[in-house]
Structure 1
Amino acid sequence: MDATTIVLLLAAIVTISLIIIVISQMREKARIERVRKMTAREDLYNRAYRLLTEIPGQYLTADLKLLLLKRMEDTCNELIMLKSDQPVSKWLEAVKQTKKQVLDNTDHRPPVKIDSPEKATYIKELLQNLFKMIEALHKAGRIDTNTAKKNLKYVLFLVHKTHADLHVFQARDHIRQNQIRKAIHAYHLASMELGKSKDNPLAMKAVKSFRTRIKELEASIVEGKTDPESHETLDREWDNFLQDDGSWKKKADYDD
């Protein structure tokens, strides 16, 4: 074998080795990218699932539920294309069943009382994550501008509602302890929180009702007695604030 042949043979071996190395690197890079995409989409699914199951039932409108379910459904379809080893088919089937329940108005989730600063902070965190998710959906072109604006505005209202919830429950505790002036202050704070959602008619009706409650409490200080029945009535109305606003509508004509 002459020198030229040997050189050509060695060059071929080196070339083939380089090709094998490049192909191996490309495959490894593709594998890593696939794992990265699957991890990212699993995270998106889990975050949407967490929001759907942990945000208080009274906060989730049908529109918000469908947005979250659409996010979960799209993510499941992407995971199937990526050939994820997670039980994605079961996830997708559960999403479709829940979606049908929402459309049939049979998806009922329990309300949650915001009766501690820790709970209020946690729910506020969930709502902030929901806000970011809606923004991301809009930026990606998955929802239109009107849908995004409507739901973002509502989520901001829910943040204010969360703070108001906490003040209302604090006011209730003060009333039970006959600390009327502290209760008045708590209702003032609740009114101020909902006052931040001036473009929400339901929030404004609640603000007027809080002001009426404050006047009643102020009068009770002068008279030296409180009306437990009046407190219980407004408590029930507030607990059902987002489920059925009929009782709040009746209070819309109260003077400021």
Structure 2
Amino acid sequence: MDTTTIVLVLAGIVTLSIAIIVMSQMREKARIERSRKITMREDVYNRANRLLSEIPGQYLNPDLKLLLVKRMEAACNELAALKSDLPVSKWKADAQELKSQILEKRDPRTPVKIDSPEKSAQVKELLQNLFKMIEAMHKSGEINTATAKKNLKYVLFLIHKTHADLHVFQARDYVRQNQIRKAIHAYHLASTEMGKSRDNPLAMKAVKSFRTRIKELEAMNTEGKDQASAESQAKLDREWDTFLHDDEWKKKADYDN
């Protein structure tokens, strides 16, 4: 074998080795990228599912529920395209069943009392995560600007209501303990929180009710007034507990303004 042939053979071996190494690296890079995408999509699904499961039922209206389901379905479709080993088919079937329940109004979520600063902070964090998720869906083109704006505005209102819920719970407790001045202060704080959503007629109706209740508490002097105040408190409690979902309460607000 002459020198030229040896050089050509060696060159061929080197070229083939380099090609094998490059192809191996490309396959590994593709594997890592696929794994990264699967992890990201799985995280998107889990976050949407967590928000749907953990946000108290009184905060999630049908629009927000459907947005979360839409996010879950999109994640499932992408995971299926990536041929993930995760139980994507079951996740998607569950999401579609939940979507049907929501549309048919068969998806009652359990209300949760906001009775401690810790619980208020927890719900606020969940709602802030929901806010970020809606922003991400808008940025990626999953929802249009009008839908994003409408739901972001509503979630911001819910964040204010979370704080108001805590103050209302504290005010009720103070009334039961006959600590009227503290109750008045708590209702003032609740009114201030709802006042941050001035463009929401429902929030303004709540502010008006809180102010009425404050005046009643300030006027508590006689036994008769105490009784009237107790009746008024019971009425306000019922209205506030069904604040987001009670049709009669909503009819009192002028949505055309």
Match of 1:242 among 228, 241, 244: 244
Q: CA deviation at 1:163?
A: 0.4
Match of 1:25 in 2: 25
Tell me how far apart the structure 2 counterparts of residues 86 and 119 of structure 1 sit (CA, whole Å): 33
Q: Which deviations, in whole Å up to 9, do the C-alpha atoms of 1:57-114 show, x marking residues without a partner? A: 1111111111110110010010011111111100000000000111111111111111
* Partners of 2:170 and 2:251 in 1: CA distance: 24
Relative to structure 1, the CA distance from residue 101 to residue 80 in structure 2 (aligned partners, 3 Å threshold; closer, same or farther) is same
What is the rounded CA distance, in whole Å, between the counterparts of 2:30 and 2:147 in structure 1?
36
1:223 alignment partner in structure 2: 222
**SS at structure 2 position matched to 1:14:** helix
After TM superposition, the score normalised by the length of structure 2 is 0.94
CA distance in 1, matches of 2:122, 2:50: 12
- The count of aligned residue pairs is 251
**1:181 matched residue in structure 2:** 181
Structure 2, unaligned stretches of length 5 or more?
Answer: none
Identity, in percent, stands at 74
Q: Which amino acid aligns with 2:72?
A: M
1:34 equivalent in structure 2: 34
1:118 is matched by which residue type in structure 2? Answer: E
The structural deviation recorded for 1:245 is: 4.5
RMSD: 1.4
Whichever residue aligns with residue 223 of structure 1, its letter is: T
Unaligned runs of 5+ in 1: none
- C-alpha deviation, 1:223, in angstroms: 3.5
Give TM-score, length-normalised by structure 1.
0.95
Structure 1 distance, partners of 2:63, 2:244, is 14
Residue matched to 2:48: 48
Cα distance in 1, alignment partners of residues 162 and 233 from structure 2: 20
TM-aligned CA deviation for residue 199 of structure 1: 0.7
Partner Cα separation in structure 1 for residue 235 and residue 149 of structure 2? 34
- Listed as ranges, the matches of 1:1-256 within 5 Å are 1-220=1-220, 222-223=221-222, 226-227=226-227, 228-247=230-249, 249=251
CA distance in 2, matches of 1:160, 1:73: 29
Find runs of 4+ consecutive structure 1 residues off by over 2 angstroms: 222-230, 247-250
Given that 1:237 and 1:248 are in contact with CA atoms closer than 8 Å, whether structure 2 keeps it comes out as no
Q: Distance in 2 between matches of 1:193 and 1:162?
A: 9
Deviates more, 1:101-110 or 1:202-211: 101-110
